């Protein structure tokens, strides 16, 4: 009776966050993105990964109930609707125990949805930014080989390695991005992990940062080359923004379902988890993998059965001549209409977008002047603005000075 009375009194009492210290904590987490409208929190829906993460942080009293977004929050890569992640990273100020570290992995995984799991955490400095401190990002795109020529895809992928202007492999965001040069460290095409079907292959792309939809656009071009619809040198022509291809031709990017943000690279960060909590995460995904394998087996057997039954079916003609499939008509990409160029899109800006562009230019100019003066004094330790798979609105950005020393020329070429 006393226990019930005590529990009722505790439930009715507000949790006082002011009695607890907070520290800047980095969280590493995974999610299956098919059920979500992307990673980033949005005003018009709660069906995003961040909305679920923030709600869980509040539920276990790691942040205050009145916080719309955790204090000092930053994310590494902003993934789109349907895109999954294995090594996503976010950082914010979280409650800490007075008597030692908390098991953030175990605590959060007890309240997070089944398709979102925290895999590690780490204490980080107050000036740590999950976005700007990251030294590189790794994306993987899983696909079925089918009739694709893997050797042609590998040859084309090699042309994308290095520092290039990738504006013809991305959706242009002229309000927030004025420099489309990015560096890709490696780009491979290989069989997926052992245990999967021989038909499953994977693209693995490692780079500093990526433009909006860059990975899915590069994947679409490689698929067209692998299927023999385009020549390998299409890649070189699309990269030649001053000559062969000054504006992006119209083409569909690859579907979201195969894309995974595989890892976010932080060499100096050491991830922590209790053995019990981490083992539960491993067992959790093993169980989900087994369950997920059943659906494609069912689909495969249904397809096989329908093909076998076809010869026994009375298939009635609809009359008239069958129209050729639209999918069989491939128009060469460089022969297609082009989207508006960067300069054309700038000229077309009006209203709030033009105002935001002017504000961004002014903000970048002030930051440039500050860093140039620091560089002249020899004290600056900065990192170039790291793009993401999708750029953040200016209203959600924070200013950070990560501890990666760059020369003046290195910084200026990214701005």
Catalytic positions? 80
Task: For the chain, report the end-to-end CA distance as a whole number of angstroms.
Answer: 67
Structure tokens at 111: 């309240």
3 state SS of 401: coil
How many C-beta atoms surround the C-beta of residue 18 within 10 A?
5
CA angle 284, 78, 145 (to 5 degrees): 65
How many C-beta atoms surround the C-beta of residue 45 within 10 A?
11
Q: Does residue 389 contact residue 131 with C-beta atoms inside 8 Å? A: no
Question: Which of 357, 379, 370, 377 is CA-nearest to residue 399?
Answer: 370
Structure tokens at 412: 């200026």
Indicate the Cα dihedral angle 281, 285, 290, 295, nearest 10°.
150
Spatial distance between the Cα atoms of 231 and 46, rounded to a whole number of angstroms: 44
CA 198 to chain centre: 27
Q: Does residue 228 contact residue 112 with C-beta atoms inside 8 Å? A: no
Instruction: Specify the DSSP class assigned to residue 132.
Output: T
């Amino acid at each position: 009776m006393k226990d019930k009375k005590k529990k009722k009194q505790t439930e009715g009492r507000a949790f006082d966050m002011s009695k607890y210290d907070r520290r800047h904590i980095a969280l590493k987490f995974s999610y299956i993105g098919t059920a979500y409208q992307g990673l980033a929190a949005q005003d018009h829906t709660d069906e995003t990964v961040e909305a679920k993460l923030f709600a869980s942080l509040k539920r276990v009293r790691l942040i205050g109930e009145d916080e719309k977004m955790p204090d000092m929050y930053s994310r590494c890569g902003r993934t789109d609707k349907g895109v999954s992640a294995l090594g996503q990273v976010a950082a914010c100020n979280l409650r800490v125990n007075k008597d030692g570290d908390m098991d953030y992995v175990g605590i959060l995984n007890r309240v997070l949805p089944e398709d979102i799991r925290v895999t590690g955490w780490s204490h980080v400095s107050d000036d740590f930014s999950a976005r700007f401190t990251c030294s590189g990002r790794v994306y993987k795109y899983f696909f079925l080989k089918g009739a694709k020529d893997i050797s042609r895809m590998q040859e084309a992928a090699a042309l994308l390695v290095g520092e290039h202007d990738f504006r013809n492999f991305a959706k242009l965001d002229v309000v927030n991005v004025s420099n489309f040069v990015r560096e890709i460290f490696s780009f491979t095409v290989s069989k997926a992990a052992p245990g999967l079907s021989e038909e499953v292959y994977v693209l693995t792309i490692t780079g500093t940062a990526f433009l909006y939809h860059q990975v899915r656009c590069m994947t679409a071009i490689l698929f067209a080359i692998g299927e023999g619809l385009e020549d390998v040198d299409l890649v070189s022509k699309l990269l030649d923004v001053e000559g062969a291809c000054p504006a992006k031709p119209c083409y569909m990017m690859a579907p979201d379902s195969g894309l995974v943000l595989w890892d976010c690279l932080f060499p100096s960060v050491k991830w922590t988890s209790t053995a019990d909590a981490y083992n539960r995460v491993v067992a959790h995904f093993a169980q989900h993998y087994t369950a997920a394998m059943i659906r494609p087996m069912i689909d495969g057997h249904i397809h096989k059965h329908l093909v076998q039954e076809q010869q026994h079916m009375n298939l009635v003609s609809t009359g008239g001549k069958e129209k050729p499939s639209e999918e069989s008509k491939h128009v060469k990409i460089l022969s297609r209409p082009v989207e508006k160029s960067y300069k054309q899109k700038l000229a077309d800006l009006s209203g709030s977008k033009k105002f935001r562009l002017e504000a961004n230019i002014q903000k970048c100019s002030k930051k440039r002047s500050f860093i140039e003066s620091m560089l002249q004094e020899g004290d600056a330790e900065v990192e170039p603005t790291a793009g993401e798979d999708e750029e953040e609105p200016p209203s959600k950005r924070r200013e950070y000075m990560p501890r990666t020393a760059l020369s003046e020329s290195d910084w200026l070429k990214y701005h």
